[in-house]
Amino acid sequence: MKQANRAGRFFLVPALLIIAFVLLFPIIQTIVLSFGRNSTSIFYDYEFAGLANYQRLLRTPRFITALNNTILFTAVTVPIELVIGIGLALVLNRQFRGKGLVRMAVLFPWALPTALNALMWRWMFNTEFGLFNSILTDTGLAVERVNWLGAIPIAMASMMFVSIWKTSSFMALLLLAGLQTIPDDLYEAGSVDGATRWTAFRHLTLPLLRPAIMVSVLLRTMDAMRTFELPFNLTDGGPLTSTETLSLYSYRAIFQYVNFNLGSSAIIIQFIIIMAISIVYIVTLRRADQ
Amino acid sequence: MFSKRISVFIASLVLGLFLLLPATAQDSVELTLSIGARGFGDAAPVLIETCEEEVGGISVEWERISDVPNESRSIYVTNFTARNSKPDIIAVDVIWPGDFAARGWIAPIEEYFGEEALAEYIPGFLAAAQVDGHTYAIPLYIDAIHLFYRDDLLEKYGLDVPSTWEGLIAAAETVVAGEANPDLAGFISMWAKIEGLFMNWLAFFQGAGGTFFDMDGNLAINNEAGIKSLSTMVSMLESGVAPESILTFRPNDARLLFQQERAVFLMVQDFVLAPLTADDSPVKDAVEFTRVPYFEGKDMTNTTVIGGFLLAVNKHSENVEAAADFIKCFTSYESQVQAGLIQGKVPTRPAVYDDERIADEAPGVAALGANFVYAFARPSAQTGTAYPEISEIMQTEISAALLGEKTPAQALADAEAQILSLMP
């Protein structure tokens, strides 16, 4: 038995080494760089600067704007996605003809790569040639073209709309899996006891769906806090920095200003925030289980 | 028996090939040239082949990199911070050499050229690659900014080609009012928050008599010329000469609108000339271009913002000398004539504009050359590693004024304060 354990551990070594190489090393490098000055690697010319980068970040209005944008984006999109996701999941969970086709259609937005998705929407939002403005002006609903991506705050709203369109289906998929674990006889028993559809939903579906809801909200929150491809391809963070997210800010600090240290500390702050949110979720989830 | 003999034969053949391969590879120095596929297009393979032959002893591999400057720059940042020895030769945007040289990413190469050879390139362009007496890159082609206009519309209303901003605004208003077409814009350009916006404002600013740094090297943007230039841009938006959507336009968005006969004036880089005059272009017979305007009474100012690419050598390359020899051939007189003929690339050697072949077969290229007398470079060589951040600050503050978040004076004062805090 002990022999087998040792052999098992031995077989894990290559996998662990690979993980350490591709995962652990960049994390350590990012942490170390976030405390450095004018350094691009931990192997040469490293100079320790203490908390200087963090102090500078907190005094940088642009970073604060990016932080606010990210939180606003997450706080608006995730709840809406959850509501739409539950709705879609309830529909998909019913028996009807062509269910497979509808499920596929619902999954389609999620299957599209975000970057491609953003470029597609950029065309539809285009002020001069875009689909939306031509519908609005052709039908006479609007006289002036709407500057979807070029005005504050409508650009942020447009970006949120694209995110909701895309990721509601992801929510629906996770929630559908949760719905399918709820046995039908519970509903039968409920209807014998005189439960209406609404009370069944309120007192049966929602409590039983709770773990699936928590997991999907957690995953989406972490994802939304890291949003990068969407602003990068849709608005480029503009106008001004009104749609610039934390990830986009860090990317710019590193690759445009070649300030690896400032960018790394922005990433670490983002990491701490996401970790804190995750811990809150997990603790709540565990309490609910008990 | 027979099959055994065949397998022995195949085995020896394979072995022989393996022995041969490194032998042929060692015969020549292998260089990698990183340049955009669209940027240099069909001229690249032709010139690579010519120069492989002319320099001798080298074989050059073409790495097709993104044509979007920010994307290729990101790749270079990763590559150079990792101290990679490849690619050996890279195409650098005119605003990069000061920054890259200060970071120790590209090698000084003047010794392989000599002063006389360097003097054959347009001095205003070469200056962008000269830091502390060293030359870090060699000009490959120019992509400056010009004013493109609809000659047919100006003619219809009996208007002269405007040379001043005052004239342009009046002409745009006349044509738009006369055409009464809600889809027709007076003036379009690239006013999204990109480098092109900074270039645009610089053109207005220089045309009002300003310079980014004054004679003593002090920042000089928060002054009469600065406010006049930015206020003019704001008023063009407010009066509707420029459509509101201009604030989301990058060069190609603006080009598309103009190509669809929906604008009178277009101010972007020269690369649009090729698509605008292509056979399938609706405006191919109506588009003409002239130098970027100036403000009334400022006709002595330089307003042609220089853009374009140079070739530099990776400092960690194992073959700096061979790479420099290749660049010498790739940017030679004859090579630039070929690049102009094949791909419409605008030469960086003044002498090439007078070449008969260019005058006969690529008159557009020759005509662009005339305006480089009015050329000026962005303040990238002087500002070194701070340039990307300075440009970003300017883009943000100019955008803030255009969006009406700040007055032009406030935006320039804020920009000045931020830039001064960056400079030592």
Structure tokens at B163: 């040379």
**Which of A129, A147, A256 is facing B244, going by the closest CB pair?**
A147
B15 pLDDT band, cuts 50/70/90, is low
**Which of B74, B193, B253 is facing A238, going by the closest CB pair?**
B193
**Which of A126, A149, A239 is facing B403, going by the closest CB pair?**
A239
Residue A189: partners with Cβ closer than 8 Å, 6 or more residues away: none
> Hey, is the C-beta of A258 within 8 angstroms of any chain B C-beta?
yes
Comma-separated ranges of CATH 3.40.190.10 domains in chain B:
30-143+307-376, 145-305+383-422
Look over chain A and give the mean of its residue pLDDT values, rounded to a whole number. 88
The pLDDT assigned to A239 comes to 86
Contact flag B385-A151 (C-beta cutoff 8 Å): no
Residue B318: partners with Cβ closer than 8 Å, 6 or more residues away: B85, B88
pLDDT digits (tens, 9 = 90+) for A88-135: 998 888 888 888 888 888 888 888 888 899 999 999 998 888 899 889
A184-188, A239-243, B109-113: lowest mean pLDDT where? A184-188
Confirm if B202 and B196 have CB atoms less than 8 A apart: no
Place of tokens 């090297």: B217
Q: Is the dihedral of CA B250, B256, B262, B263 positive or negative?
A: positive
B324 pLDDT band, cuts 50/70/90, is very high
Which range of A36-40, A200-204, B273-277, B316-320 scores highest in mean pLDDT? It is B316-320
Q: How many residues comprise chain B?
A: 424
Parallel/antiparallel/unpaired status of strands B89-93 and B29-36: parallel
Structure tokens at A220: 């989406």
The pLDDT assigned to A237 comes to 87
- Which residue in A has a C-alpha nearest to residue B96's C-alpha? A256
B12 pLDDT band, cuts 50/70/90, is low
**Which of A127, A237, A240 is facing B248, going by the closest CB pair?**
A127
In single-letter form, the type of residue at position B98 comes to G
Determine the distance in angstroms separating the CA of A145 from the nearest CA of chain B, rounded to an integer.
Answer: 9
B363 pLDDT band, cuts 50/70/90, is confident
- Which residue in B has a C-alpha nearest to residue A128's C-alpha? B245
Contact flag B81-A41 (C-beta cutoff 8 Å): yes
Average pLDDT over residues A277-290: 81
Scanning chain A, the segments in alpha helix (DSSP H) are: 2-19, 25-34, 52-58, 61-92, 99-111, 114-125, 131-138, 154-180, 184-192, 197-200, 206-225, 229-234, 246-251, 260-289
Please state which CATH number belongs to domain B30-143+307-376.
Answer: 3.40.190.10
CA distance B107 to B315: 4
B22 pLDDT band, cuts 50/70/90, is very low
Instruction: Pick B11 or A184 by higher pLDDT.
Output: A184
Q: Is the pLDDT of residue B57 over 80?
A: yes
Average pLDDT over residues A229-243: 89
Structure tokens at A120: 């597609």
Q: Is the pLDDT of residue B323 over 90?
A: yes
Contact flag B192-A145 (C-beta cutoff 8 Å): no
Place of tokens 């608006």: A76
The pLDDT assigned to B422 comes to 83
Q: Is the pLDDT of residue A228 over 80?
A: yes
Contact flag B70-A256 (C-beta cutoff 8 Å): yes
Contact flag A258-B243 (C-beta cutoff 8 Å): no
Contact flag A128-B257 (C-beta cutoff 8 Å): yes
The pLDDT assigned to B23 comes to 45
**Residues pairing with B32 in the sheet:** B61
Q: Is the pLDDT of residue A143 over 90?
A: no
The pLDDT assigned to B25 comes to 47
The pLDDT assigned to A229 comes to 92
Place of tokens 């960018």: A263
Which class for B258: exposed (0-12), middle (13-18), buried (19 or more C-beta within 10 A)? buried
CATH superfamily of the domain spanning B145-305+383-422:
Periplasmic binding protein-like II (3.40.190.10)
Instruction: Pick B232 or B423 by higher pLDDT.
Output: B232
Omega before A153 within 30 of 0, i.e. cis: yes
Determine the distance in angstroms separating the CA of A200 from the nearest CA of chain B, rounded to an integer.
Answer: 50
pLDDT digits (tens, 9 = 90+) for B377-396: 899 888 888 898 899 999 99
Q: Is the pLDDT of residue A148 over 70?
A: yes
> Hey, is the C-beta of A149 within 8 angstroms of any chain B C-beta?
yes
> Hey, is the C-beta of B186 within 8 angstroms of any chain A C-beta?
no
Q: Which residues on chain B are in Cβ contact (under 8 Å) with A150?
A: 192, 244-245, 247-248
> Hey, is the C-beta of B75 within 8 angstroms of any chain A C-beta?
no
pLDDT digits (tens, 9 = 90+) for A255-268: 888 889 999 999 99
Q: Which DSSP category does B67 fall into?
A: S
B1 pLDDT band, cuts 50/70/90, is very low
Residue A61: partners with Cβ closer than 8 Å, 6 or more residues away: none
A104-108, B30-34, B175-179: lowest mean pLDDT where? A104-108
> Hey, is the C-beta of B385 within 8 angstroms of any chain A C-beta?
yes
Residue B13, SS3 per DSSP: helix
The pLDDT assigned to A137 comes to 85
Q: Which residues on chain A are in Cβ contact (under 8 Å) with B193?
A: 236-240
Residue B42: partners with Cβ closer than 8 Å, 6 or more residues away: B342, B343
Contact flag A258-B396 (C-beta cutoff 8 Å): no
Q: Hey, of A33, A39, A45, A128, which one would you mutate to test binding to chain B, going by the most B CBs within 10 A of its CB?
A: A128
Distances in whole angstroms, Cα of residue A204 to Cα of each of A83, A183, A213, B387, B410: 17, 11, 14, 61, 60
The pLDDT assigned to B67 comes to 79
> Hey, is the C-beta of B255 within 8 angstroms of any chain A C-beta?
no
Determine the distance in angstroms separating the CA of B9 from the nearest CA of chain A, rounded to an integer.
Answer: 40
pLDDT digits (tens, 9 = 90+) for A176-203: 999 888 888 888 888 888 878 888 888 8
A152 pLDDT band, cuts 50/70/90, is confident
Contact flag B244-A145 (C-beta cutoff 8 Å): yes
Contact flag B385-A238 (C-beta cutoff 8 Å): no
Contact flag A240-B256 (C-beta cutoff 8 Å): no
**Which of B256, B388, B403 is facing A256, going by the closest CB pair?**
B388
CA distance A39 to A52: 13
DSSP B172-238: HHHHHHHHT-TT-EEEEE--SSSHHHHHHHHHHHHHTT--SB-TTS-B--SSHHHHHHHHHHHHHHH
- Which residue in A has a C-alpha nearest to residue B390's C-alpha? A257
Please state which CATH number belongs to domain A57-289.
Answer: 1.10.3720.10
Determine the distance in angstroms separating the CA of B24 from the nearest CA of chain A, rounded to an integer.
Answer: 36
**Which of B388, B400, B403 is facing A257, going by the closest CB pair?**
B388
Q: Is the pLDDT of residue B82 over 50?
A: yes
- What percent of chain A has pLDDT above 90? 41
B 395-424 residues with CB < 8 A to A: 396, 399-400, 403, 405
The pLDDT assigned to A256 comes to 85
Average pLDDT over residues B400-419: 95
Q: Which residues on chain A are in Cβ contact (under 8 Å) with B247?
A: 147, 150-151, 239
Q: Which residues on chain B are in Cβ contact (under 8 Å) with A129?
A: 256-257
pLDDT digits (tens, 9 = 90+) for A69-79: 999 999 999 99
